[in-house]
Structure 1
Amino acid sequence: CTQQHLRHIGEQIWDRSPAELSLVETSFQRDDRVTALYRHFLLSYDWLDNANQLVLSSASSLLLTHLIQHYSQVTWRLPTVTGGLSPYVLRNICDYIDAHLAEPLTLTVLAQQAALSEYHFARMFSASMSIPPHHYVMQRRLQRAKQLLATSQYSMTDIAYQCGFSSA
């Protein structure tokens, strides 16, 4: 098996990507699970027959899974942020922010709306929007204030309060 195949199986087992994965070299060790897989699958089928390829592929995956679970050394890397928030959650968060600009918006409140921890929400929001949540909220408040200044007859103090600012 290739290192790439080994890593792929390892990622499926642990649902995360190892920085390094290697199998511990052992000799003359008895493992009943390996023996059973070998006897049941590998000795019973013709490797060259195309009809048996799925069975042999499954058997090799079972064997590698067992080896990785019981005979591997794993070095983990830090998780990478990819993808960000789902479009549905991101849209709901942005709508919530727009609807509640006059209120104090905290990371705790926004994370609860997304049903995530504060730390995870902040990372995912930043990955999705390319700016942290507090910058986005400030941008939305300033945009709302500009709009109200241009289109309404409210005083600057009223506009500031409607946009979540404490003073004009």
Structure 2
Amino acid sequence: MSSATTFYDFKPLDKTGKELPLSTYAGKVVLVVNTASKCGFTPQFAGLEKLYKDITEKHGDKFVIIGFPCNQFGGQDPGSDEEIQSFCQLNYGVSFPVLHKIDVNGDNADPVYQWLKEEKPGLLGLKRIKWNFEKFLIGKDGKVKERWASTTKPESLEKAILEELAK
């Protein structure tokens, strides 16, 4: 992890369990979200999908949202990767990538999340994810630009995303 300098240096697993080099997204603005299917914030999938569609309609493939399912908060994403994909598609029409389920905190935290938390600690410098649907904005340069709490609604992020796209 210590050798990583940008978001694009990581290779988490995709929904089928294969490595996905995040370098695939180099030069794009990326919104990273730790998701869950059975959480009070789960309806944010609808807002995320609308945000994704609205921005990609105007800016093409220069923007992407990547969901990282996580079951660490109240066991709110207990399903298999296949069940999670099905849930996101059937209930919210999610068309952005939702990857392999990971841990975002603790000894087994995925390296991309270890890096995100180091780059942009939360309130009071805390380096942990507090709950599902925390959001990180990655600029075209692969650096973390912003971090938002679970309570931040996806629609309120459009201005910050558009500003990054304009850079």
TM-score bracket for the superposition, by shorter chain length: under 0.3
Greater helix fraction, Structure 1 or Structure 2: 1
Greater strand fraction, Structure 1 or Structure 2: 2
Higher relative contact order (CA 8 A, sep 6+): 2
